Structure 1
Amino acid sequence: MSPGDEHDSFGGVGGSGQTRTRLPEGNSGDFHGSARRPARGSRSLLAVVGVVVLLVTAIAFANRGGGEPATTAGPTSDRPGRATPTTATGVRPVTGKNGQIPTGHTQNTQGAQSAATNYAVALGSVDMFQRGPRTDIVRATHDPAVTDALLKRLDASYTADFLTSIGLDANGLAPSGLTFVSRTVPVGAKVRDHTATTATVDVWCTGLVGLAGTGSTKPVTSTWFTLTQKLTWVGGDWRISSSSQTEGPTPVNGDNRASVADEIAEAVEEYGGFTYAR
């Protein structure tokens, strides 16, 4: 079963009410885009699967069950639903790292937002398509109580056949001359509810996924989604206990000219990602 197949079944697990995403047919062409934008329903399989990487974390936990965290009202500035700008608040940003993933988030709503946002970036990265790096990411971002079961499910999903179907080799690497792109870019975050040791955080994101370079038949495309992470305070930091994803909010496409594949490949290689802290 591929990650895409698991995602399609996730919508019906345990009556969870999560959304179901159908995987559309792939696109073709040598360019990142064209003057004529494809219909929304014909987004490439690769684009959807890349974003679904973030959803796979939810699948294992949906079958495990578990209750909702209790809601505890905090100070006025921390109450769920109250909009706050993504700016510095005076609390020192995280300074530690577990590999490439920030650690040491503060035990408050600000720290929960930073953790959820940083984890969204890691779980939407190219490294999730390679077994060794994927294991490191999952162990660095998730509650140890759930990591082993999740890793087994992920390893069973990212088979050589599946990776080949999206243009990668059996090790999750792009063909020579092409650059595999998988990036999640957070736009904002909000806390839905929290206690001293639990939090539910929504992270609104846009994603870039595809193969960039001359001759690519799976051009880099973008999508919008909201990732909801349930976090637990364990081992001195926030860790994911479960997650889910819904489509949008999606803005109207602008009139920007789509870049050719080589321009996208060059940009991905030259522009690094960010560590997010509120």
Structure 2
Amino acid sequence: MSLGDEHGARGEDGGYGGTGQTRTRLPDSAGDVYGGARRGGRSSSRSLVTVVGVVVLLIAAIAFANRGGDDSDAGADGGSKPEAASTAASGERPVQTKSGGIPSGFPQTEQGAQSAASNYAVVLVSADILKPTRRGEIVQQVFVTDKVAALKDKLDKAYSEEFLSNVGLDENGNAAAGQTYVSRTMPVGTKVTDYSDSAATVEVWCTGVFGTAGDDSKNPVSNDWFTMTLQLRWAEGDWKVDSFSQKDGPAPVNGDNTVSPSDEIAKAVEEYGGFTYAR
């Protein structure tokens, strides 16, 4: 999804400066904004249904929290294609432990670093990160100790009450009655661009669904593709995040899918659980 457009200019670090503005394009017809019509390959109806506001705000908040970091394409040298073994599943079992609901206890290996990065990408772009009480627990669990205080402060400022209001949530990060806020991230693949026994840089290619499901929602659930780069450090017997950033894509052509009604989206979020990811 395009993040340029008229709201929020790209900063020097390649991110977006946390404008707190929302861009939405709603269909002309009344009723459920999810409709039920087929979306053609390049039809104007699909462009009307495409809603980018929530994703823009989430990415702007991440960029705000990482302002001053390196947002360059690490390891993108345009060289030869990787061998099949480097992209195939490792077959290693995922971790067996969780701390605060977040997978933990990753092995001190490249595969362990990739598994950690995948699971941390999920939690850092989740609905829980928008809840003030849950956010502190996530930061405490995911980040290295010496970065916790600074990151907690930055994220609190990024996910301000104004930001939450712009995405249709109250000060506690909860959706209005009859609505369900959705923020689900699914890693598609990982790539290690730098590794040692004490530090690793891992890129996680992700897709996700973001928005508010409900009859009166101004931010219907839409999907996005992005890549998160996580700088990891081996600390306290586990991989922890030292810093992270994100960029758009790679994104495929949108399929000609039937758009689901809002109640079906909300029901899916409640009934389908997430995964623990392992490389």
**Alignment TM-score, normalising by the size of structure 1:** 0.81
* Residues 239, 56 of structure 1: alpha-carbon distance in 2 compared, 3 angstrom cutoff: farther
Matches within 5 A, 1:1-278: 11-13=11-13, 18-20=14-16, 25-28=23-26, 30-32=32-34, 35=39, 36-38=45-47, 43-52=51-60, 54-59=62-67, 62=69, 82=83, 84-90=86-92, 92-278=93-279
Contact 1:53/1:124 (<8 A) preserved:
no
Contact 1:32/1:264 (<8 A) preserved:
no
Q: Which moved more, 1:155-164 or 1:242-251?
A: 155-164
* Residues 181, 119 of structure 1: alpha-carbon distance in 2 compared, 3 angstrom cutoff: same
Contact 2:15/2:64 (<8 A) preserved:
no
Contact 1:181/1:212 (<8 A) preserved:
yes
CA shift for structure 1 position 95: 1.1
Contact 1:186/1:204 (<8 A) preserved:
yes
Q: Which moved more, 1:208-217 or 1:156-165?
A: 156-165
Which residue of structure 2 lines up, in the alignment, with residue 74 of structure 1?
Answer: none
2:91 is matched by which residue type in structure 1? T
Contact 2:194/2:201 (<8 A) preserved:
yes
1:37 is matched by which residue type in structure 2? R
Contact 1:114/1:277 (<8 A) preserved:
yes
Contact 1:86/1:188 (<8 A) preserved:
no
**1:74-123 deviations in Å (ceiling 9; x for gaps):** xxxxxx95552452434x43111111111111111000000000000111
CA shift for structure 1 position 55: 4.3
* Residues 53, 181 of structure 1: alpha-carbon distance in 2 compared, 3 angstrom cutoff: farther
Gaps of 5+ in 2: 1-7, 40-44, 76-80
The secondary structure found in structure 1 opposite 2:202 is strand
2:182 is matched by which residue type in structure 1? V
* Partners of 1:146 and 1:107 in 2: CA distance: 21
* Partners of 1:10 and 1:237 in 2: CA distance: 34
CA shift for structure 1 position 166: 1.3
* Partners of 1:223 and 1:106 in 2: CA distance: 30
The secondary structure found in structure 2 opposite 1:136 is helix
1:12 is matched by which residue type in structure 2? E
Question: What root-mean-square deviation, in Å, do the aligned CA atoms of Structure 1 and Structure 2 show?
Answer: 2.8
Q: Greater share of helix residues, 1 or 2?
A: 1
* Residues 201, 108 of structure 1: alpha-carbon distance in 2 compared, 3 angstrom cutoff: same
CA shift for structure 1 position 164: 1.2
The secondary structure found in structure 2 opposite 1:211 is strand
